Amino acid sequence: MLEKSSAEMVLRPASDAVFALLDGRSMLFSEAGQKIFELDRVGAFIWCKLAQGASLEDTYQGLETLGIDEHTARQFTRQVVNVWIDRALLEVDWRMPTDCAYAFSAILGRHRIGVRAANRDLLRQLLSLFCVSDQSAGGGDDIEIEAMMLDEQVFLRGEDSSISRCQVEALAPTIKAHITERLIRSNRWTFSLHAASLVKDGMGLLLCGQPGAGKSTLTLQLADAGLRYAGDDVALVGADGTICGIPFALTLKEGSWDLLSRLHGDRYDATHCRSDGVRVRYVPIPDAHQECFSASWIIFLNRVASGPGELTVIDQLDSMKRLIENAFAADGRLSQAGFFALKRIVAGARSFQLTYSEAVEARRVLMDLCNGRA
């Protein structure tokens, strides 16, 4: 059972939503969506109660006077409220104290992230995402997020007042996706790469590969071997070709949980559910690398069913083509500035394809490479 939220939530009709009757039938018109939605008798009752400023509890009790039992009243109200929120027919508002105790900040991708939660349990869910919080005083947050409970759902509000919702077990993955999207679209970066990143004595290592190639598992192995963790999913690239990872806590899918248990015991056994249904666990890596770096090695992972770990040299043009396939820009297009930044990365690094079947063997091969023995 989650702790009760300390802030009060208010639901009210959107300013551009109009309720009307036509031939005895109830309807809503959305000016923004340019659509008409018909309401049945119960839906019309709920809408009118909310329009009068009634709370959800008052609405439930009102439905009971119509002969609807409490459980059904709550269930139906939650369903229609979710639909109306998703269609921007309802506005959701809440106010948390400015000195909210359930808050923290973090630095990711040279942006200050501020998070406030309505209770301790929500904050604990969110904290699992981050390797380290930012303790510096002063300064506004570039990206702000507030989390609030309504019944069994979490509602999220960004600094632009946009509202989204998710189930509690999906909270951390939803927030991670939101922050990552904001960072990718930031004008501080020319583009981003779908790659894990680590640093060895100031020299950067990029791990590129399709989902299932083993980037996160291999990243965990390399961090355990002494490389500094900089991110396991997205790397941000500046116009000068320098790279900045996004060091969220390392995300591990179910296939890597045995390895996680062997390395860390049951310290990180809390399970979260992504929007695609995949279950994950988060592992905060101590002393995560926050600064920009230059890539010294670019590794394209090729995971196979069996066989030894083997590095194959890739020429710069082939490396460039592969990286472009894994690049993301705010407007969906790689600009000329992005192209030249990518050229700088490739020209300053050695590129390889790593064919492997076991993460332990891949770790040995890459540590040999980083230590000058390959």
| Consecutive H or E run containing 362 | helix 359-370
pLDDT in tens, the chain (374 residues): 333 444 567 889 999 999 999 999 999 999 999 999 999 999 999 999 999 999 888 999 999 988 999 999 999 998 999 999 989 899 888 887 666 668 889 999 999 999 999 888 899 899 999 997 775 555 578 899 999 988 778 999 888 878 888 999 999 999 999 999 999 998 899 999 999 999 999 999 999 988 778 899 999 999 999 999 999 999 999 999 999 999 999 999 999 999 899 888 888 989 999 989 999 999 999 889 999 999 999 999 999 999 999 999 999 999 999 999 989 888 888 999 999 999 999 999 999 999 999 999 999 999 999 999 87
Taking each helix axis from N to C terminus, what angle separates 215-224 and 359-370, rounded to the nearest 10 degrees? 60
- 35-39/25-30 β-pairing: antiparallel
* pTM score of the predicted model: 0.86
Cβ distance 81 to 73 under 8 Å? no
Q: What is the pLDDT of residue 1?
A: 32
Complete DSSP assignment for 160-215: T--EEEEEGGGHHHHHHHHHHHHHHT-TT-SEEEEEEEEEETTEEEEEE--TTS-H
Helix (H) or strand (E) holding 73: helix 70-86
Give the whole-angstrom CA distance, residue 108 versus residue 126.
Answer: 15
What is the DSSP code string of 128-165?
TTBS----------SEEEEEEEETTEEEEEETT--EEE
- Look at residue 360 in the predicted model and tell me its pLDDT: 92
Q: What is the pLDDT of residue 7?
A: 53
In the DSSP assignment, the letter for residue 284 is P
